[in-house]
Structure 1
């Protein structure tokens, strides 16, 4: 089957999660090194990665870490992509050899202006919250996606925030992202749910 939008399952923290993704083959998986209920240490992530299917790309999620700390974790865990959710500027983003995805919290049309200051490999659109940098489980107004013309549609847009198997088709049709990023939308009681993950991936790849 031919499909365009890729999928990232974020917030893996258990051996069972690795078993699930090895069976389901999402394009990317994410390990959260930032403060979160899904946070893992570099040692935990390294152990989980040892059992991961090598065809799946590994993304590390960071929030205002020092450059040196990111480099150490990226090396220990052999990360393919670094995803920054904090106040990291373009000078910071230039410090790494890996591909960089930068998160932008979307509140209104003006939220897209900040992207113009960045030249990164991926632009992750997440939901604005006045006290949280991500992981709210809430979607922003996808109608704002018309402002993506400023960014140029040939850039890699990653859509996050409030996605689940029920709304992902609509999200893809409206925003046409390169990647959809899901975490809580495929969980039950805070843990990854195999059936929800399976349904999510199937729906993304049928759009």
Structure 2
């Protein structure tokens, strides 16, 4: 089970992550309370344990914007959260200067979009330009939970949920419910952000070492 901690913004969080060693961490390069600049992400990336992979999160950014970030920050994965279509993803994948995976995030509430991408992902298998699919709620990063029923309905048409479909589960995951979520969905990995946050003594919201430790230990 792969673990991604998303929305990293400061050096203290990097210190925590170097101890806890999730599989992936995420930098958000689109409008969000956790948005970070390429300059700051580059600095934090250099502080990060090289065994931990880095994901850059984008939402309807232009190809130029994404490529500019890729020139500055060593990203292992580009995660697309917007309305990016197959043509856009193909163009992005053709970037010859950087080798990275592409993860496409899909909202559980957009059944048409969800069905289209899941069907394509399963049909293309190893020839797919997307390396992974991430299933999220309608408000990424909000911590809101949601029903997996629409997703399971689509999956039944395409494959055996227990064997064939590799995806990442995000949205409303906490140390308290992570094992239940995994049992219900059987994902390849989980993506957590607000579920492992606290407000520190200065009134700043940041990742909690204790919450991340509990979550990671439960999974592993």
Q: Which residue of 2 aligns with 1:194?
A: 209
Q: Distance in 2 between matches of 1:142 and 1:178?
A: 15
Query: Which residue in 2 is equivalent to 1:136?
Result: 142
Q: Which residue of 2 aligns with 1:204?
A: 219
Residue-pair matches, total: 197
Q: Distance in 2 between matches of 1:63 and 1:45?
A: 17
Kindly provide the CA deviation profile for residues 106-131 of structure 1, in whole angstroms up to 9, marking residues without a partner as x.
02765631322453111110012xxx
Unaligned runs of 5+ in 1: none
Is residue 181 of structure 1 aligned with residue 204 of structure 2?
no
Partner of 2:124: none
The one of 57, 64, 69 equivalent to 2:65 is 69
After the TM superposition, which residues 56-205 of structure 1 pair with which residues of structure 2 at under 5 Å, given as runs?
56-94=52-90, 95-96=92-93, 97-107=99-109, 112-115=114-117, 116-118=119-121, 119=128, 120-128=130-138, 132=139, 134-147=140-153, 148-152=155-159, 153=161, 154-189=164-199, 190-205=205-220
Does structure 2 conserve the Cα–Cα contact (< 8 Å) formed by 1:145 and 1:175? no
Pair 1:91–1:9, CA change in 2 (3 A)? same
**Structure 2 unaligned residues grouped into runs of 5+:** 94-98, 122-127, 200-204
Deviation of residue 76 (structure 1)? 1.2
Q: Which has the higher helix share?
A: 2
The runs of 4+ residues in structure 1 deviating greater than 6 Å are none
Length-normalised TM-score, structure 2: 0.84
Instruction: Tell me how far 1:145 sits from its aligned partner.
Output: 4.3
**Structure number, greater radius of gyration:** 2
Instruction: State TM-score, norm by structure 1.
Output: 0.89
Q: Distance in 2 between matches of 1:179 and 1:86?
A: 20
Alpha-carbon RMSD: 1.7
2:170–2:191 CA contact under 8 A, matched in 1: yes
Q: Residue 13 of structure 2: which of 14, 17, 21 is its match?
A: 17
| Residues 154-163 or 36-45, more deviating | 154-163
User: In 1, distance between residues paired with 2:158 and 2:81?
Assistant: 18
Measured after TM superposition, the shift of residue 149 of structure 1 is 3.5
**Residue 112 of structure 1: SS of its match in structure 2?**
helix
Structure 1 residue 13: Cα displacement: 0.5
Please list the CA deviations of residues 150-176 of structure 1 after superposition, one character each: whole Å capped at 9, or x if unmatched: 454434301000000011101101111
